[in-house]
Amino acid sequence: KDKSAMICRVPFGARRLPFRRGIVTVRGVKEMRAVRETMAKEGKIVGFVPTMGALHQGHLSLAEKAAEDCDEIITSIFVNPTQFGPGEDLGRYPRDLEGDIKKLRSVPKVTTVFQPDPEEMYPEETHIYVTLDSLEERLREGRSRPGHFKGVATVVTKLFNIVQPHKAYFGQKDGGQCIVIKRLVQELLINTEIKLVPTLREKDGLAMSSRNAYITPQERPHATVLYKALQELHNLFVNGERKAEKLLQCGIGIISANQNVRIIYLDLCCSHTAKQFQGSDVIPKGVKVMASGAIMLGKTRLIDNILLEA
C-alpha cells in the first residue's frame, strides 16, 4: 500500500486536498481534534506551524525544521482578526490558499492543514482574551500596535488548545511575537515546546515576509535600509560598544538618511524579559539582546531584528 495514503485521515468535516496524497484540510475544531486524537493513538510526535497564509520560503523553513524533529506536521492557515488594529491591513492581507497548499507539497510529513472559521474561533459573544499586562508595554512593537500581542496571545492559546502539539515552530523575524509566545507557554504551563527558527532573507538581506508583496518595484531598493541599520548596530556591538544610546544612534542615523522611508522605532531589549535598554544604559555581560525596528516604506510596514549577545 501507498504509505502516504495510509497516514491520511478524513473525518467528517474534513476535505481531502487534490494537490498531494496524504494531506487533508480541516475546518472545524471538533474535526481537528479527531485528527489529532488519531495521531495520539498512533504515538506520533506532532509538530505545529501556525501561519496566516500567503506562504513564502520562510514559512516553509519552519515546516522543514519541524519535519526534522517530528513524525507529522499540522499547519494552520488563519488570518487572525484580533491581531490587526484599526486602519491596518486585515482586509487586504494576502490570501492564496491554493498556492499555499501547493507549496506545502514540497515539505515531507505535512499531513494536515487546519483552516478554522473565524466565527468558530471568535463567536459573537466572545469575552475571554489573553492579556499581557506590562509585557506588551515593554515591547516597542506592542506600543506601536496596541492590542496586537493580545490578539496573538489569544489565538495562539486557542490553536495550542485545539491542536495540542508537542512542538510549535515560529520564525525569529517576528521577534516580539517570539518573546510573547515563549512567556505565554511558560506562564500558562502549556505543554508545548517552542522552537524558534532563524530569519530567512532575500539575497540582499530583506527579511522574507508576506507583506513584501505590497512593495512596489520603485520602493524595493529602499526596503533593506532597516536590515542595513541593524547590521551596522551589530558591528558596533561586536567591536565593543555597550552603551544603548550609541548603538541606537548608529542605527537611527542610517535609517534617517534615507528619505524614502519613515522610521517608526528602533529598540534594544532583553530577548527574554523584554526589558528595554536606552539612553545611558549599558548592556550587561551575558544578556542576550534583541535589536529590532519598524519602518514605513510607502504604504508597507516592515519589521526586522537581530540578536546580540554580550
272 is catalytic: no
Distance (Å, whole) CA 159 – CA 165: 9
Q: Which of 59, 148, 166, 234 is catalytic?
A: 59
Count of other CB atoms within 10 angstroms of residue 69? 15
Query: Which residues are within 8 A (CB) of 121 and not within 5 positions of it... i.e. 6 or more apart?
Result: 78, 80, 155, 158
Query: Can you list the alpha helix ranges (DSSP code H) found in the chain?
Result: 3-6, 29-41, 57-69, 97-104, 118-121, 134-138, 140-144, 148-163, 175-187, 225-238, 244-256
| Closest C-alpha among 78, 80, 82, 83 to residue 114 | 78
Instruction: Judge residue 104's burial from the number of C-beta atoms within 10 Å of its C-beta, 0-12 exposed, 13-18 middle, 19 or more buried.
Output: buried
Q: Which residue type does 181 have?
A: I
| Closest C-alpha among 191, 156, 197 to residue 51 | 156
Secondary structure of residue 244 in the 3-state scheme? helix
Residue with cell 512593495: 215
**What residues are annotated to the active site?**
59
